[in-house]
Amino acid sequence: MARLTNKTAVITGGTTGIGFETAKLFIAEGARVIITGRNQTRIDEAVAALGPNVTGIKADVQSLDELDHLATQIRNTVGQFDILFANAGIAKRADFRDVTEADFDQEIAINFKGAFFTVQKLEPLMNNGGSMILTTTVLDQTALPGESIYGASKAAVRSLARSLSRELLDRQIRVNAVSPGPIETPIWSKMDLPEDVPAQVLGRTPIGRFGKPDEIAKAVLFLASDDSSYMLGEEILVAGGWATL
């Protein structure tokens, strides 16, 4: 039997990469899915690729007004839902000496503030006994030069998963995190990395390759389903051995 039959899931940052592959897997497992993104063209393309069991809604998680609109749209579309995958995020590479206030504010606004208020605005629409999954990063346990703000913002999200687990016990909503290592996603092309950095990252990855988005999606499915019913406040590391070997 499909693991998400009769479940409804909301995935922020669901138009590409990990979010898109997770939406595809959730649908294959029987779920109805709502994906969000900031670019309407990408939303339309993702919806066309994913098929009839997905709805796309434009929303920028750093805007509380847009999150309020997202909540209204979800309420009008499906009413209540069961699974929240707070996945929207960005990564910008810069030596800490060169980070501007605007750079700092944007990365924190999307990665941490966005995750926090996504949960705050959408939690009232979740059914009791649901599952929340927050995307963190292996860089909340180790370091990569030029990613100080990204790592710190995701470490805050890791802490949030613990705190929310306590605060949502009364509703039996489980909150866990998935921590990707180096994954082949569009985020890499947006980081303006020097040509030698991907090779350096690969050299630090014991398994000897970059991960695929669907490999993270499988971990998210586990956390979303009843297979992880005795887990809360946990972080699953899917990083090819980066922080463990």
Known catalytic residues are 150
Question: C-alpha angle with apex 221: 18 to 73, nearest 5 degrees?
Answer: 70
**How far apart (Å, rounded) are the C-alpha atoms in residues 37 and 225?**
24
Reduced to 3 states (helix: H, G, I; strand: E, B; else coil), residue 156 is helix
CA distances from 90 to 49, 110, 167, 204 (A): 23, 7, 27, 22
> Which tokens belong to 15?
């138009």
Question: C-alpha angle with apex 235: 229 to 236, nearest 5 degrees?
Answer: 85
Count how many residues are written for the chain. Answer: 245
**How far apart (Å, rounded) are the C-alpha atoms in residues 164 and 162?**
6
217, 25 contact by CB (below 8 A): yes
Question: C-alpha angle with apex 49: 45 to 52, nearest 5 degrees?
Answer: 110
Strand order in the sheet with 81-86: 54-58, 32-37, 8-12, 81-86, 126-135, 174-180, 235-238
Residue 28: alpha-carbon gap to chain centroid? 19
